[in-house]
Structure 1
Amino acid sequence: MTVLTTERLRLQEMAEADLDDFAAILGDPAFMRFYPRPKTRAETLEWIMLNRRRYREHGHGLWKLTRLADGAFAGDCGLTIQRVDGVDELELGYHVAPAFQRTGLATEAARACRDWARTSLGATRVIAIIHPDNLASQRVALNAGLTLEKRTTNYGPGTEVMIFATAL
């Protein structure tokens, strides 16, 4: 099911049939260098099913990105509920396939999801949780109108993250 369409992208619900595409990026050690570790194929399927459950329970999750021009798989972007320092926050998250990085697709998708959060959910705030060394993700957050709010070790001792946020 298509949720959003931008100038160059279709954002749609993930399906089990997307496993090969997502396993290719989420299982890649270089792509996942800012995460604790790459996902196995089984973990990637669990992650897809988690997002499908989020669609049912919350009306949103991370959505598959497909280029309109050629139908190519480009990654994911969307909204999830994350607990940060004891508070549930609406997080704007994104993973863009290496072939499409540095093309503006992540920013395009992030802006669309940010706007959808305001208009469809009535959200008044979104955040992005970013590893301090992930400069590309920080640029996407800034280009989507978020600013650095704080640093926290929300995900365990020694695991510092940066919280970018914007009021909607």
Structure 2
Amino acid sequence: MTVLTTERLRIEEMTEADLDDFAALLGDVFVMRYYPRPKTRAETLEWIFLNRRRYCEQGHGLWKLSRLEDGAFVGDCGLTIQRVDGVDELELGYHVAPRCQRTGLATEAARACRDWASTELGAARVIAIIHPDNVASQRVATNAGLTLEKRTTGYGPGTEVMIYATAL
């Protein structure tokens, strides 16, 4: 089901049929360099199921991105609930295939999902949780209107992350 369209993107629910594309994306060492490790194919399938449960239970999750012009797979972007410093936050997250990076597609998707959070969910704010070394992700967050709010630890003992946020 298509959730949104932008000038260049279709943003839609992911399905099991997308496993090959997502396994290549989330199994890519470069894409996943700021995570503990790349995902296996089996872990990617579970991740797809997790997002499908989120669609049913929360009305949102991470969504598949594809180019409108040719249907080519781009990556994912969307909204998930994350616990940060004991508070549930609405996180704007994204992963983009290396061949599509530095094209503005991640920012285009992030802005659309940010706006959807406001109009469809009535959210008061969104955040992005970003590894301190992930300059490209910081740039996407900034271009989507988020600003650095704080640094905190999470996602493993002693792992520092940056929290970017914006009021909606």
The question of a shared fold, defined as TM-score above 0.5 by the shorter chain, is answered with: yes
Q: Is the 8 A contact 2:31 2:96 kept in 1?
A: no
Report the number of matched residues. Answer: 168
Question: 102-111 vs 25-34, which deviates more?
Answer: 25-34
Q: Which residue in the other structure is 1:105 paired with?
A: 105
Structural RMSD (CA)? 0.5
Could you tell me which residue of structure 2 aligns to residue 47 of structure 1?
47
Q: How is 1:3-18 mapped onto 2 (pairs within 5 angstroms)?
A: 3-18=3-18
5 Å matches for 1:85-124? Answer: 85-124=85-124
Residue of structure 2 in register with 1:22 after alignment: 22
Alignment identity in percent? 86
Q: Secondary structure at the match of 2:158?
A: coil
1:80 aligns with 2:76: no
Q: What is the CA distance between 1:25 and its match in structure 2?
A: 1.1
TM-score norm. by structure 1 comes to 0.99
Equivalent position SS for 2:165: strand
- Identify which range, 151-160 or 12-21, moves more after superposition: 151-160
TM-superposed CA distance for 1:38, in Å, is: 0.3
Q: For residues 8 and 33 of structure 1, what CA distance do their matches in structure 2 show?
A: 27
Counterpart of 2:131? 131
Corresponding residue for 2:149?
149
Query: Any unmatched runs of 5+ in structure 2?
Result: none
Question: Deviating runs (4+, > 4 A) in structure 1?
Answer: none
Q: SS of the counterpart of 2:70?
A: coil
> Once the 2 structures are TM-superposed, how far is the Cα of residue 156 of structure 1 from its aligned partner?
3.0
For residue 30 of structure 1, report the CA deviation from its aligned partner: 1.7
Number of the residue aligned with 2:37: 37
Deviations 1:35-59 (A, max 9, x none): 0000000000000000000000000
For structure 1, the 5+ residue unaligned runs are none
Instruction: State how far apart, in whole Å, the 1-side matches of 2:10 and 2:39 are.
Output: 25
Q: Deviations over 1:2-31 (max 9, x none)?
A: 000000000000000000000001011121
Shift of 1:166: 0.2
Q: Secondary structure of the equivalent of 2:22?
A: helix
Q: Distance in 1 between matches of 2:46 and 2:155?
A: 20
Is 1:60 matched with 2:60?
A: yes
What SS does structure 1 have at the residue aligned with 2:18?
helix
For residues 65-97 of structure 1, what are the alpha-carbon distances to aligned partners after superposition, in whole Å with 9 as ceiling and x for unaligned?
000011000000000000000000000000011
SS at match of 2:156: coil
Identify which range, 29-38 or 149-158, moves more after superposition.
149-158
Normalising by structure 2, report the TM-score: 0.99
